């Protein structure tokens, strides 16, 4: 997505959000205050007028040319902060419930499409909030008659701190976002360069090879197939059919540097042969190690003797790699001798190059998709996966025409804020990681562990046996309570967790309701002294 598309998307979302808030604000104000009250009070009328004019300015800018929109992008921050400042002033309270909107005005600039956008929104928010305090002081000094009270001073300190903290967080996220986009663009440009180079090679060889249809067919699969197993099976089938080989196999390089069969096609079962030649001392592993195409002429006497036992008299090993990253190897064999001439070698080398790039792209796609579904800190599933999981449960229930059967175990780390405040956020992150690992170890094929937010975790299970669920939850609680942590100063400490359990159909009928019931059980566990697991009970 280029800069113009990103700006248009940001503006469109901002307009929708502003429009919805304006409609809600207008309707609620007319109902609660009455239109006569608003018209009789100049400040209220001025606020509504400013809000509508600001919205109109946004709409006009949104419809202008991109150069004008980008130039006056600051107007959006000015309108948003101005509207929040007026609304804050109308509340006539020095510590108003409108304050969080200042934080929202800063945080919505997290993409920082225009340089300095975060700084502008932060400066405007601090100025607006400060003016609110000064004007409220001037309007009614009695509102600040208790400023010496430590509570008020602390509240003001935390409000300003919240503004600065939000600005800092937004800036860091913005910086991270730009770096991520930059790196992804670099990767995409690199891939595009590889594809362009391959397309040039293919174009130059198109007239030379009678097997060009095979090559184009493989290219089509590579560009459209995002699942490794399906892609590799199709390629081995095509090579097998075109060359009439004895067998065609694709081996992948595992983490322990051993080869494993990823796809195979053959006229008969060569399973025992594949198991032998995938070991380090045989020809395929040698070809991958040297990153060069090796054939019958490079085979050792032991290789030749083994292959001929299975009737194989020709073999070609094509290494699969990109730059210095080894991926695997493509092995093609034939019953006849001297089958793989230069044409076949060049064709298979091109297929190997394309297959290498395709496998790398597939792994990148899979890694990106996996990243989107996992919490970066703990490695557990995140809210996105959580929502998809619930939808799948609902669809499966409808498809099978069976009632929902589902349980929710919700956990919360007791007094986790104290860990962050006293021990530091890095220690707090380590605590979250360890708690997450314990939850993950206590999942099975019927359950998933999710980081729901902050120090709150979920264990979603298809099991509805409350006794078994309570045992699992208690085991998790005890394992965590038995741990001993050490902070950066060498001091040891421990933590506890509280949990709530609810299930369908025992306590609820919908996924939303069962989550609410589990949360209520967690709240009861907190009220009861923490470090305990409570199963929701419909009886008060």
Segment 414-426, tens digit of pLDDT: 999 998 888 888 9
484 or 339, higher pLDDT: 484
Q: Which two tokens stand for residue 488?
A: 């950066």
Beta bridge partners of 486: 492
In angstroms, how far is CA 213 from the centroid of its own chain?
39
Regarding whether 351 and 219 lie in a shared domain, the answer is yes
- Residue 540 above 50 pLDDT? no
Q: Which two tokens stand for residue 216?
A: 């184009």
Domain housing 69: 3-182
478 or 266, higher pLDDT: 478
- Residue 74 above 50 pLDDT? yes
State the first-to-last Cα distance of the chain, in angstroms, to the nearest integer.
54
Residue 164 lies in a domain: yes
Q: Where are the beta strands (DSSP E) in 384-445?
A: 406-413
Q: Where are the beta strands (DSSP E) in 177-258?
A: 247-253
Q: Check whether the bond before 340 is cis (ω within 30° of 0).
A: no
| pLDDT score for 521 | 92
Nearest CA to 400 out of 392, 411, 409 is that of 392
Active site residue 395: no
| pLDDT score for 150 | 61
- Residue 164 above 80 pLDDT? yes
Q: Which two tokens stand for residue 308?
A: 């001929």
Domain's final residue, options 347, 369, 391: 369
Regarding whether 314 and 437 lie in a shared domain, the answer is no
pLDDT band at 223 (very low <50, low <70, confident <90, very high): low
Regarding whether 425 and 338 lie in a shared domain, the answer is no
- Residue 463 above 60 pLDDT? yes
Residue 519 lies in a domain: yes
Query: Torsion-angle region of residue 323: left (phi > 0), alpha (psi -120 to 50) or beta?
Result: left
CATH code: domain of residue 429:
3.30.70.270
Regarding whether 244 and 118 lie in a shared domain, the answer is no
Q: How far is CA 55 from CA 20, 145, 439, in A?
A: 11, 37, 48
- Residue 35 above 50 pLDDT? yes
Regarding whether 454 and 352 lie in a shared domain, the answer is no
* Mean pLDDT value across the chain: 80
d(C-alpha 506, C-alpha 349), whole Å: 61
| pLDDT score for 226 | 47
For the stretch 382-415, what's the b/e string if a residue is b when 16 or more beta carbons lie within 10 angstroms of its beta carbon?
beebbeebbeebeeebeeeeeebebbbbbbbbbe
Residue 377 lies in a domain: no
Residue 398 lies in a domain: yes
- Residue 518 above 80 pLDDT? yes
Residue 81 lies in a domain: yes
Which 8-state DSSP code applies to residue 144?
Answer: G
| pLDDT score for 218 | 60
Counting DSSP H helices and E strands in the chain, the numbers are 19, 12
Regarding whether 363 and 262 lie in a shared domain, the answer is yes
| pLDDT score for 539 | 38
Average pLDDT over residues 176-194: 80
Residue 507 lies in a domain: yes
| pLDDT score for 410 | 94
Nearest CA to 431 out of 520, 346, 495, 336 is that of 495
Helix or strand or coil: residue 534? strand
Q: 173: exposed, middle or buried (C-beta count within 10 Å: 0-12, 13-18, 19+)? A: middle
Strand order in the sheet with 294-295: 259-266, 247-253, 325-334, 314-322, 294-295
Answer for the pair 414, 530: CB distance below 8 angstroms, yes or no: yes
Helix or strand or coil: residue 415? coil
Our count of domains for the chain comes to: 3
Active-site annotation holder among 190, 207, 455, 489: 455
pTM of the full structure = 0.41
Q: To which H or E segment does residue 202 belong?
A: helix 150-205
| pLDDT score for 163 | 84
Domain's final residue, options 315, 338, 369: 369
Residues in CB range of 238: below 8 A, 6 or more apart: 214, 217, 218
Regarding whether 54 and 155 lie in a shared domain, the answer is yes
Residues in CB range of 109: below 8 A, 6 or more apart: 77, 117, 118, 120, 121, 170, 174
Q: Which two tokens stand for residue 81?
A: 């902060």
Average pLDDT over residues 489-498: 91
d(C-alpha 200, C-alpha 131), whole Å: 64
Count Cα neighbours of 352 within 13 Å in the Cβ-side half-sphere.
31
Average pLDDT over residues 324-334: 83
Compute the radius of gyration of the chain from its Cα atoms: 32
- Residue 186 above 70 pLDDT? yes
Helix or strand or coil: residue 210? coil
For the stretch 469-505, what's the b/e string if a residue is b when 16 or more beta carbons lie within 10 angstroms of its beta carbon?
bbebbeebbebbeeeeeebeeeeeeebebbbbbbbbe
Residue 191 lies in a domain: no
- Residue 264 above 80 pLDDT? yes
Regarding whether 463 and 422 lie in a shared domain, the answer is yes
Regarding whether 482 and 356 lie in a shared domain, the answer is no
Answer for the pair 481, 460: CB distance below 8 angstroms, yes or no: no
Residue 196 lies in a domain: no
Answer for the pair 334, 245: CB distance below 8 angstroms, yes or no: yes
pLDDT band at 366 (very low <50, low <70, confident <90, very high): low
Regarding whether 274 and 151 lie in a shared domain, the answer is no
Regarding whether 219 and 352 lie in a shared domain, the answer is yes
CATH code: domain of residue 241:
3.30.450.40
d(C-alpha 527, C-alpha 511), whole Å: 25
- Residue 228 above 60 pLDDT? no
Domain's final residue, options 336, 369, 402: 369
pLDDT band at 144 (very low <50, low <70, confident <90, very high): low
| pLDDT score for 207 | 43
538 or 429, higher pLDDT: 429
Answer for the pair 356, 320: CB distance below 8 angstroms, yes or no: yes
Three-state SS letters, 451-501 = EEECCEEEEEECCCCHHHHHHHHHHHHHHHHCCCEECCCCCEECCCEEEEE
With a pLDDT cut of 90, the percent of the chain lying above it is 13
149 or 444, higher pLDDT: 444
Regarding whether 236 and 127 lie in a shared domain, the answer is no
Residue with tokens 């309701």: 513
| pLDDT score for 199 | 73
| pLDDT score for 478 | 94
Answer for the pair 129, 99: CB distance below 8 angstroms, yes or no: yes
Q: 534: exposed, middle or buried (C-beta count within 10 Å: 0-12, 13-18, 19+)? A: buried
- Residue 435 above 70 pLDDT? yes
Segment 81-123, tens digit of pLDDT: 888 888 777 777 777 778 888 888 887 777 777 777 888 888 8
Number of residues in the chain:
540
Helix or strand or coil: residue 399? helix
Answer for the pair 391, 512: CB distance below 8 angstroms, yes or no: no
d(C-alpha 296, C-alpha 338), whole Å: 8
Average pLDDT over residues 341-370: 74
| pLDDT score for 138 | 67
């Amino acid at each position: 997505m280029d800069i113009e598309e990103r700006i248009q998307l940001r503006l469109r979302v901002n307009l929708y959000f502003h429009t919805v808030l304006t409609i809600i604000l207008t309707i609620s104000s007319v109902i609660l205050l009455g239109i006569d009250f608003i018209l009789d009070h100049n400040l209220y009328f001025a606020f509504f007028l400013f809000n509508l004019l600001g919205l109109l300015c946004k709409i006009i800018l949104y419809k202008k040319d991109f150069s004008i929109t980008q130039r006056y992008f600051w107007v959006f921050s000015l309108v948003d902060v101005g509207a929040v400042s007026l609304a804050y002033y109308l509340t006539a309270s020095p510590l108003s419930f409108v304050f969080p909107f200042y934080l929202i005005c800063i945080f919505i600039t997290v993409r920082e499409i225009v340089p300095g956008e975060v700084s502008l929104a932060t400066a405007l928010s601090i100025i607006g909030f400060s003016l609110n305090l000064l004007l409220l002081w001037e309007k009614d000094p009695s509102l600040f008659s208790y400023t010496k009270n430590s509570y008020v001073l602390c509240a003001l300190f935390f409000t300003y701190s919240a503004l600065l903290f939000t600005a800092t967080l937004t800036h860091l996220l913005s910086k991270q976002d730009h770096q991520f986009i930059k790196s992804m663009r670099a990767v995409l440009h690199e891939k595009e360069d590889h594809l362009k180079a391959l397309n040039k090679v293919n174009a130059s060889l198109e007239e030379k090879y009678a097997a060009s249809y095979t090559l184009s067919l493989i290219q089509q699969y590579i560009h459209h197939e995002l699942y490794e197993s399906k892609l590799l099976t199709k390629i081995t089938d095509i090579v097998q059919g075109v060359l009439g080989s004895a067998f065609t196999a694709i081996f992948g390089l595992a983490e322990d540097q051993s080869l494993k069969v990823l796809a195979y096609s053959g006229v008969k079962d060569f399973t025992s042969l594949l198991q032998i030649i995938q070991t380090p001392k045989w020809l395929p592993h040698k070809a991958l190690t040297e990153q060069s195409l090796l054939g019958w002429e490079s085979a050792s006497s032991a290789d030749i003797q083994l292959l001929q036992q299975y009737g194989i008299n020709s073999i070609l090993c094509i290494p699969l790699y990109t730059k210095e990253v080894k991926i695997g190897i493509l092995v093609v064999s034939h019953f006849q001798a001297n089958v793989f001439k230069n044409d076949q070698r060049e064709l298979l080398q091109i297929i190997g190059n394309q297959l290498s790039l395709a496998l790398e792209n597939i792994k990148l796609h899979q890694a990106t998709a996996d990243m989107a579904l996992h919490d970066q800190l703990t490695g557990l599933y995140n809210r996105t996966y959580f929502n998809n999981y619930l939808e799948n449960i609902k669809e499966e229930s409808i498809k099978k025409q069976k009632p929902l059967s589902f349980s929710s175990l919700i956990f919360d780390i007791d007094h986790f804020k104290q860990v962050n405040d006293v021990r530091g956020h890095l220690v707090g992150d380590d605590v979250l990681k360890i708690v997450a690992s314990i939850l993950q170890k206590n999942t099975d094929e019927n359950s998933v562990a999710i980081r729901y937010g902050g120090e709150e975790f979920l264990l979603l299970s298809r099991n509805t046996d409350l006794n078994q669920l309570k045992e699992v939850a208690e085991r998790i609680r005890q394992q965590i309570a038995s741990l001993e942590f050490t902070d950066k100063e060498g001091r040891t400490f421990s933590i506890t967790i509280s949990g709530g359990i609810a299930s369908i159909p025992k306590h609820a009928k919908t996924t939303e309701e069962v989550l609410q019931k589990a949360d209520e059980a967690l709240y009861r566990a907190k009220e009861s002294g923490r470090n305990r697991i409570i199963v929701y009970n419909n009886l008060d």
